[in-house]
């Protein structure tokens, strides 16, 4: 049984609410097993200078698994760099979709939201389906949605940190602030982080390092698939309100009378 319902981003329906990255895997073979286990239908790839020594391509892996490549603009520090990279990616991968990253700080890899907004507006004007990696600031998320981004992708904590979701409150506020899908991107460390993201109202989770750098990437990919499904199901099952005191689940009537 499929636990979740399909996620619609722009004109595309995704059966899996887990979006993965391909960075950090020790080999293409390990990556392939992990991606298969994750059940993902959409996976990020980067665009880099041709390496004459490289053997095999990440695109061959995606082709075999029937997974769509989502190009990113990783490593870009200005709107101009990100726009050019997106244009190159559009030509390389024959897709209008782009995961937009504009980094403002090398140590934290936090987004430069000013450049990000400029790049997002420009790319939307050029017909791109823009999925921006952004901070957990609800105002920035709203601005990104207003310029026409197809989704917003706030971080839980810095890229690759495995720090989980540092500010769950803001993720809930972002869910309220925009009508487009909210995708928790960056910071996931383990399965409970992914489940929490979905319980907070995110529509999907994007993660890479948590799987590709795990000791057993294939097993962690399975864990993430289940966590995303579990979190989504819990979110939509209507959880009980939190209470300060206990509430007995067994009836008080009809208790055995002793003595």
Partner 1 sequence: MIEIRLNGKAVRLEHGTHLRALVTERVERVGGVAVARNEEVVPRSEWIGTVVRDGDRIEILVAAQGG
Interacting residue ranges for partner 1, rule: CB under 8 A = 21-25, 28, 31, 44-52, 57-59, 69, 71-72, 74, 84, 87-89, 91-93, 99, 101, 208
How far is the C-alpha of 246 from the C-alpha of 8, rounded, in Å?
A: 40
Give the gyration radius of the chain's Cα atoms. Answer: 20
Element containing residue 88 per DSSP (H, E) = helix 79-93
Residues ≥6 apart with Cβ < 8 Å to 161? 186, 187, 189
Whether the Cβ atoms of residue 249 and residue 66 lie closer than 8 Å to each other? no
Q: Which one, 138 or 154, has the nearer CB to partner 1?
A: 154
Q: Which one, 14 or 109, has the nearer CB to partner 1?
A: 109
Give me the residue label for tokens 């890479």. Answer: 208
CA-based angle 140:188:163, to the nearest 5?
A: 85
DSSP state of 153: E
Q: How far is the CB of 129 from partner 1 (least distance, A)?
A: 16
Q: Which one, 28 or 234, has the nearer CB to partner 1?
A: 28
Q: How far is the CB of 69 from partner 1 (least distance, A)?
A: 7
Ramachandran quadrant class, 153 (left: phi over 0; alpha: psi -120 to 50; beta: rest)? beta
Q: How far is the CB of 26 from partner 1 (least distance, A)?
A: 10
Instruction: Work out the number of other CB atoms within 10 angstroms of the CB of residue 70.
Output: 23
Q: Which one, 21 or 156, has the nearer CB to partner 1?
A: 21
Q: Which one, 14 or 69, has the nearer CB to partner 1?
A: 69
Residues ≥6 apart with Cβ < 8 Å to 31? 22, 25, 58, 61, 212, 217
Q: Which residues are catalytic?
A: 99
Q: How far is the CB of 21 from partner 1 (least distance, A)?
A: 5
Residues ≥6 apart with Cβ < 8 Å to 44? 19, 20, 21, 22, 23, 69, 70, 71, 72, 99, 206, 208
Q: How far is the CB of 181 from partner 1 (least distance, A)?
A: 18
């Amino acid at each position: 049984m499929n636990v979740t319902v399909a996620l619609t981003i722009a004109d595309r329906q995704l059966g899996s609410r887990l979006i993965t990255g391909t960075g950090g895997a020790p080999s293409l073979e390990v990556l392939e097993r992990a991606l298969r286990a994750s059940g993902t239908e959409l996976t990020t790839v980067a665009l880099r200078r041709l390496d004459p020594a490289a053997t095999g391509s990440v695109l061959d892996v995606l082709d075999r698994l029937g997974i769509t490549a989502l190009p990113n603009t990783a490593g870009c520090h200005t709107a101009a760099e990100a726009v050019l990279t997106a244009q190159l990616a559009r030509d390389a991968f024959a897709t209008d979709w782009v995961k937009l990253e504009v980094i403002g700080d090398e140590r934290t890899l936090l987004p430069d939201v000013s450049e990000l907004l400029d790049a997002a507006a420009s790319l939307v004007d050029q017909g791109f389906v823009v999925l921006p990696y952004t901070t957990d600031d609800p105002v920035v998320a709203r601005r990104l949605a207003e310029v026409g981004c197809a989704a917003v992708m706030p971080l839980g904590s810095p890229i690759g940190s495995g720090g989980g979701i540092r500010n769950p409150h803001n993720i809930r506020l972002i869910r309220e602030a925009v009508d487009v899908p909210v995708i928790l991107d960056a910071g996931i460390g383990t399965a409970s982080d992914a489940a929490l993201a979905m319980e907070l109202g995110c529509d999907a989770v994007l993660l890479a390092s948590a799987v590709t750098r795990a000791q057993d990437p294939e097993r962690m990919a399975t864990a993430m698939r289940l966590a995303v499904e579990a979190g989504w199901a819990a979110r939509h099952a209507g959880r009980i309100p939190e209470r300060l005191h206990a509430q007995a689940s067994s009836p008080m009537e009809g208790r055995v009378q002793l003595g």
